[in-house]
Structure 1
Amino acid sequence: MSGHGAPSLSTDATGARVVVVASSWHELVMDGLVAGAQAALAEAGVTDVTLVRSAGSFELPIVAQACARAGFDAVVALGVIIRGGTPHFEYVSAAATDGLARVALDTGVPVGFGLLTCDDDAQAIDRAGLEGSREDKGREAAEAALATLVTLRGVAPASSPEG
């Protein structure tokens, strides 16, 4: 399982404004991912949380970018893509992944990556943070976004004194 060796990220992000951008496809899996992200945000002291739905995983980057530009401190992007019998899986996975990385780099706003790319429904359910799931990728994406936010705040240049 890919969660082996994962760090324990515990962050105090009190006062942060965070948006969870979640795809609308695969409702059961998405409900688990969103719940995991919301639980992690609450545990980190984040009380200003907005949930925004995108049509699908391909649309996550444009919605995440709009949210980052709207002034949110961090974005948690959640989606699931299940492999089918055509190359569609590879195109959507690559575009969404590249797009989310670009949002973070272009805006400087941390983007927690919670996009599941699975061969079948069982793999997605096993990563969705549902009862009986072995992993909670929604929680992990939220924790990563907050840890990155705290790190970036620590390395931001200090304001220069006026003079």
Structure 2
Amino acid sequence: MSGHGAPTIQIEGADGLTVAIVASSWHTEVMDGLVGGAEAALREVGVEATLVRVAGSFELPVVAAELARTHDAVIALGVIIRGGTPHFEYVCAAATDGLSRVALDSGTPIGFGLLTCDDDEQALARAGLVGSKESKGREATEAAISTAITLRRLRA
């Protein structure tokens, strides 16, 4: 697990932030955990989010770009599990590059909750479900909200 050394993010001043979650539909059990972790983190800081579902991880960037136009932060959640063809590498690269581009082009924080795993076991371990070792949906949300608060202060 790569969670070693992860920071503890304290979130203060999230009031009034507009947040959206864009989540892929593949791998329902894992996605339910990721979305649940994101929603729990938002509830804890008193922020409600718009949830938008897309077909798969490849579609995350284009919808995140649209949501970034009207929200202070966007949480992008998806899971790609390696198969026996190069498709895994193409989709991982496209989704990652696309989400990075959205953040830089829009100036809106994009919480990176895209799991790129070798197998189902790795995805479940990161999904934030009972028995999971990590909650990447929560982590992506905390990072995006923290960054949105920092940007709001810098822009004030």
The TM tier, using the shorter chain, reads over 0.9
Q: For residue 38 of structure 2, what is the aligned residue in structure 1?
A: 37
CA shift for structure 1 position 44: 1.5
Residue 63 of structure 1: aligned partner? 63
Give the distance between the partners of 1:24 and 1:116, measured in 2 at CA.
13
1:155 Cα deviation after fit? 1.6
- Partner deviation per Cα, 1:5-26 (whole Å, 9 max, x = no partner): 0011121311111000000000
TM-align CA RMSD: 0.8
1:52 corresponds in structure 2 to 52
Matches within 5 A, 1:118-137: 118-137=117-136
Question: Where does the alignment leave 5 or more consecutive residues of structure 1 unmatched?
Answer: 159-163
SS, match of residue 32 in structure 2: helix
Aligned to 2:146: 147
What TM-score, normalized by structure 2, do the two folds share?
0.97
Q: How many Å separate the matches in 1 of 2:7 and 2:45?
A: 16
Q: Which amino acid aligns with 1:21?
A: V
The aligned counterpart of 2:101 is 102
Whole-Å Cα distance in 2 between the matches of residues 142 and 79 of structure 1? 13
Residue deviations 1:107-127, cap 9 Å, x none?
011100000000000000000
SS of 2:100's partner is: helix
Partners of 1:2 and 1:83 lie apart in 2 by 18
> Aligned-pair distance for 1:45?
1.7
Give the TM-score, by structure 1 length: 0.93
Paired letter, 1:37? A
Give the superposition deviation at 1:154: 1.9
| Identity level (%) | 71
Q: Deviations over 1:94-152 (max 9, x none)?
A: 00000000000000111000000000000000000000000000000000000110111
Q: Which structure has the larger Rg?
A: 1
1:75 aligned residue: 74
Supply the distance in 2 between the matched residues of 1:150 and 1:15 (Cα, whole angstroms): 10
Unaligned runs of 5+ in 2: none
Residue identity in the other structure for 2:60: L
Deviation at 1:52, TM superposition (A): 0.2
